[in-house]
Amino acid sequence: MKCNRLVDAGRRQFLRGGLVGAAGAAASTVLPAQQAQARSLARVEYPPNKLGNVSDLVVNEPMDIEYPDADSPGVLLKLGQAVEGGVGPDNDIVAYSVLCPHKGWMLSYNGEDKTFNCPGHHSRFDAEAGGQQVWGHATNNLPQFVLRVDDKGDIYAEGVDELIYGRLSNVL
């Protein structure tokens, strides 16, 4: 079902329909973020936060996460098909910030063509192409979280490749 009034629906409108349930169920598996703290280094130091386990993920159902801290929402996503930069046994697990790098609106995920879409001004980003902006107003592609999977299948985020909307330092 298309929702034509998302523009007015407010900032927290996110992951519509059936996806909301999946995301809600998954939320309990997210561990609390480590205390992120900036130090006097040339680049920020990213916390290695555990986002979940490979076994938690269902193909094409994004899981709500927060990285590098609770004020930076994102999703962890198993695409079902290997992509460049994908991790996990199938090289298909990716994670992105879901704040639109244009004006910070919350993106929604469209499972049909695996894109993140902005209800505010219609920018969209390709989950299968490193968050490349398919069309839109942002001047950078979607920040992607750098992931690592350990032997137990636990998935850790360890970095971000673009500046996250709303912060002038990725780690505040």
Partner 1 sequence: MAYKRQIDRLPIIPADAKEHNVTWHYCIVGCGYKAYTWPMNKQGGTAPGENKFGVDLSEQQYQDTEAWYAPSMYNIVKQDGKDVQLVVKPDVNCVVNSGLGSIRGARMAENRPSTVTGTQQQRLSDPKVWRNGVWQPTTWDDALDLVARVTARVVTEGSEDDLVVSMFDHGGSAGGYENTWGTGKLYFESMKIKNCRIHNRPAYNSEVHSTRDMGVGELNYAYKDYGLTDTIFMVGANSMETQTNLYLNHMVPGLQNGAKMVVVDPRRTLTISASEQYAGKDNVLHLAINEGTDMALFNAILTHIVDNGWVDADFIANSTFQNGEAVAQDSAHPAGLGSLDYAMASCRTSVEEAAEICGVPAADIVKAAEWIAKPHDDGSRRKCVTAYEKGIIWGNDNYRTIGALVNIALATGNIGREGGGVCRLGGHQEGYYRPSDAHVGRPAEYIDQFLIRGLGGVHHIWACDHYKTTLNASEFKRVHKRRSDMVKDAIDAAAGGTREQVVDAIVAAINAGGLFVVDVDIIHSQIGQNAHVILPACEANEMNLTSMNGERRMRLSERYMDPFGNSRPDCLIAAGIAQNMERVLRDMGNDAYADQFKGYDWQTEEDAFMDGYNQGNPDVTYDRLRAMGNNGVQEPVVGYENGQLVGTERLYADGTFDRHGRDDKKALFCAAGWRGWQAPGKAREKAAHKFWINNVRANIFWQNQFLDQENDFIQDRFPHPFVEMNPDDMVDLGLNPGDLLEIVNDNGVTQGMAYPTPTAKRGQVAMVFGSPAGSQGNVVNPGVNELVLPDYKHCWGDIRKIADATPETRAISFKSKEVAL
Active site amino acids: 102, 121
Q: The tokens of 116 are what? A: 């993140």
Determine if 90 is a binding residue for partner 1 (CB under 8 A): no
Least Å from the CB of residue 157 to partner 1: 13
Out of 24, 132, 148, 150, name the contact with partner 1 by CB under 8 A.
132
Calpha distance 88→146 (Å, rounded)? 12
Nearer to partner 1, 56 or 102 (CB): 102
- Torsion-angle region of residue 21: left (phi > 0), alpha (psi -120 to 50) or beta? alpha
Calpha distance 49→136 (Å, rounded)? 30
SS3 for 17-75, per residue?
Answer: HHHHHHHHHHHCCCCCCCCCCCCCCCCCCCCCEEEEEHHHCECCECEEEECCCCCCEEE
Least Å from the CB of residue 10 to partner 1: 9
Determine if 97 is a binding residue for partner 1 (CB under 8 A): no
Q: For the sheet containing 93-97, what is the strand order?
A: 63-66, 73-78, 93-97
Nearer to partner 1, 93 or 106 (CB): 106
Task: Judge contact between 159 and 146, C-beta under 8 A.
Answer: yes
Determine if 112 is a binding residue for partner 1 (CB under 8 A): yes
Nearer to partner 1, 56 or 109 (CB): 109
Nearer to partner 1, 52 or 101 (CB): 101
- Enumerate binding residues for partner 1 (CB under 8 A): 2-4, 6-8, 11, 43-44, 71-72, 84-85, 101-106, 108, 110, 112-113, 115, 117-124, 126, 128-144, 160-163, 165-172
